[in-house]
Amino acid sequence: DIQMTQSPSAMSASVGDRVTITCRASQGISNYLAWFQQRPGKAPKRLIYAASSLQSGVPSRFSGSGSGTEFTLTISSLQPEDFATYYCLQHNSYPITFGQGTRLEIK
């Protein structure tokens, strides 16, 4: 199985900050990587697909990069609605696996 390791597991930041979350795959997954945002009590929402493509309707302050085994999600200027939990997902091979999540909290 491919293990997806996110870092950090939790972080606090302020409105306007630039934030980067990292996801490392235990083996190469090409660009079969997506990022999701989940607010409390809500279904996850896809932000980024194919490692760096922005989902339609998602603000441009979100961006993704990487290929192979290391990937990043960057939020260029945090907004109040961005405080949530973020997950990466690999769908290169079965079983499909998620990272453990990164909880982003208000400082």
Residue in the structure block whose two tokens are 């900050």: 17
Task: Give the Cβ contact number of residue 42 at 10 Å.
Answer: 9
Of residues 63 through 102, those in contact with other proteins by CB under 8 A are: 87, 89, 91, 94-101
Binding to other proteins by residue 57, rule CB under 8 A? no
Taking the complex as a whole, how short is the minimal distance between the CB of residue 38 and other proteins, in angstroms? 8
In this structure, are residues 99 and 89 in contact, taking their beta carbons and an 8 Å threshold?
Answer: yes
Q: Both tokens of residue 38?
A: 């989940």
Size of the site for other proteins (CB under 8 A): 21
Binding to other proteins by residue 19, rule CB under 8 A? no
Whether the link from the prior residue into 95 is cis, omega within 30° of 0, is: yes
Distance CA 59, CA 20 (A): 16
Contact letters for other proteins, residues 22-41 (x by CB under 8 A): ----------x-x-x-x---
Q: Find the binder of other proteins among 11, 17, 20, 46 (CB under 8 A).
A: 46
Distance CA 95, CA 1 (A): 6
Q: Which residues bind other proteins (CB under 8 A)?
A: 32, 34, 36, 38, 43-46, 49, 55, 87, 89, 91, 94-101
